[in-house]
A and B are shown apart, each in its own frame.
Chain A
Amino acid sequence: MAGLTEAQVQDRIREEAKKALASGEVSAVVGWTSTRFEDKTKPYFAETEAECDLLVWNKYCINGTGKFALDDRYPEKKIAIIARGCDSRALNRMLRDKQLKRENLYIIGVVCDGKENAVCEGCQHKNPLTYDVLIGEPVEEQMNAERFKEIEAFEKLTPDQRYEYWAKQYDKCIHCYACRNACPACNCVECYADQYRTGWQGKAADREQNQVYGLTRAFHVGDRCIECGECERVCPMNLPIMRQTKKMLKDINDLFGDYECGLPDDAMPVLGTYKLEDPDEFM
């Protein structure tokens, strides 16, 4: 952390949270609090000044806070969100998808130096991108040259090996939809998988339905994925979900130029727009 120690950042977070609540415009501050395990934290909604002192900041603050903004889409007061780089991108994602209104959010940005989470190793945005108040000095961003290394290695397997690998992975899926619930790109008001009478998604947790769910989800969020890794973190069966969405991102980068989601610019997701000069393979 540039300039500030962990404890100092924590103090600043509590200070800003109290200030936000005291202003009367904010109903709750979303952050993390300690649990009875030293190496675990949990998401926490501080609604009073006393509760603000329970907010913590350490290397175990791994839960994404951005998605909680969707719990109340039409709040009476603002919701304050303590946002790291990934959380601010999650909020950008939902703002871009018109799921939230910026005026309903008060974003307390915190410069993050990576948590005890595997996905943080390849992080390209340690500084929050959108915020109302920033805690900590912005650090220099590192581009991750190995962003798609894992995908390239997987592509070298034979088609049969690849199919077997995914079939075995999807055999494990139990349809808990935790990946969907944690994903900031999964922000449809009603998920297609919940519309059980339409027949889009069967309820059986067998390979057939899991493949449909996995691939549909990968395709649906693939062009809007912010690579926060929440889907893989919450998966109780340890499915490598990011391998599918990252493949989509890799192809998008190859075909349509450099692309990253969750940036503050107003770019449309790749599949929601087109260019006349796109490559054409279907002639």
Chain B
Amino acid sequence: MSIKKDDNWEPKILAFCCNWCTYTGADLAGLNRMKYPENVRTIRVPCSSRVNPQFILRAFQKGADGVLVCGCHPGDCHYATGNYFTRRRFMLMQRLLEYNGIDPKRFQAKWISGSEAAKFRDTVTEVSAQIKALGPNTKFVAPHYDNALQAKEGGAE
């Protein structure tokens, strides 16, 4: 799938959602018929601390324009302490990615509980708008996944 350089470009956002809070919250948003941008791809993980920093690197390499990691609020973790580790890990990861040239808006972590369907909708809408403003991600993209490159070379014709 190549993305052409035009106004119809939509970002691809990968959301890692914790099974116990955010995924349930997203489910509730669906049950309530809430509308949120469809460019979010949700991946269900057992806990936000299941997300390995390498997942994020690979996501960017394989064409994600933004990555979102969502978990339970501190203190609410199903496994009692998982999200405290997530918090430390991704505060550092965000800074390391920024140091390597990735805009911190492209990688965000949020706490969304199972009842916060509206917060899920708002977060996703906001992140989607932010990444749309930033444009396609050109950093860390592997050549054979490079959408921007394809748009320039093959897709533009």
**CB-contact partner of B100 in A162, A271, A281, under 8 A:** A162
A248 touches B96 (CB 8 A): yes
The interface stretch among B8-16, B23-31, B84-92 is: B84-92
Bound Cα distance A283, B84 (Å): 13
| CB neighbours of A128 from chain B (8 A) | none
Q: Does B155 contact A (CB under 8 A)?
A: no
Within 8 A of A (CB), among B98-115: 98-103, 108-111
Bound Cα distance A271, B85 (Å): 7
The interface stretch among B39-47, B124-132, B136-144 is: B136-144
| CB neighbours of B58 from chain A (8 A) | 212
Bound Cα distance A190, B156 (Å): 46
B54 touches A271 (CB 8 A): no
A160 touches B101 (CB 8 A): yes
Bound Cα distance A176, B94 (Å): 28
B111 touches A208 (CB 8 A): no
Number of interface residues of B (CB under 8 A): 32
A200 touches B140 (CB 8 A): no
- On whether A208 and B142 interact (CB within 8 A), knowing A255-B91, A280-B74, the answer reads yes
B99 touches A247 (CB 8 A): yes
A162 touches B99 (CB 8 A): yes
Q: Does B81 contact A (CB under 8 A)?
A: yes
B95 touches A212 (CB 8 A): no
Bound Cα distance A219, B109 (Å): 17
Q: Does A137 contact B (CB under 8 A)?
A: no
Q: Does A258 contact B (CB under 8 A)?
A: no
Q: Does B61 contact A (CB under 8 A)?
A: yes
A219 touches B53 (CB 8 A): yes
A256 touches B88 (CB 8 A): yes
| CB neighbours of A212 from chain B (8 A) | 54, 57-58, 61
Q: Does A218 contact B (CB under 8 A)?
A: yes
**CB-contact partner of A274 in B54, B84, B96, under 8 A:** B84
| CB neighbours of B95 from chain A (8 A) | 247, 251
B74 touches A276 (CB 8 A): yes
The chain B residue with its CB closest to the CB of A283 is: B111
**CB-contact partner of B84 in A164, A215, A223, A276, under 8 A:** A276
A159 touches B54 (CB 8 A): no
Q: Does B93 contact A (CB under 8 A)?
A: yes
Q: Does A155 contact B (CB under 8 A)?
A: yes
A222 touches B99 (CB 8 A): no
A244 touches B84 (CB 8 A): no
Closest Cβ of chain A to B123, distance in Å, is 10
Q: List 21 A-B contacts (CB under 8 A).
A: A155-B99, A161-B101, A163-B102, A163-B139, A200-B54, A208-B61, A211-B57, A212-B61, A222-B92, A223-B92, A247-B95, A251-B92, A251-B95, A271-B89, A271-B92, A274-B87, A276-B74, A276-B84, A282-B90, A282-B109, A282-B110
Known: A216-B54, A222-B96, A281-B91. 5 other contacts (CB 8 A): A163-B139, A208-B61, A244-B99, A251-B95, A274-B87
Which chain A residues have a beta carbon within 8 Å of chain B's beta carbons? 154-155, 159-164, 166, 200, 208, 211-212, 215-216, 218-219, 222-223, 244, 247-248, 251-252, 255-256, 270-271, 274-276, 278-283
State the 6 A-B residue pairs at the shortest beta-carbon distance, nearest first: A163-B101, A274-B84, A208-B142, A162-B101, A282-B109, A159-B101
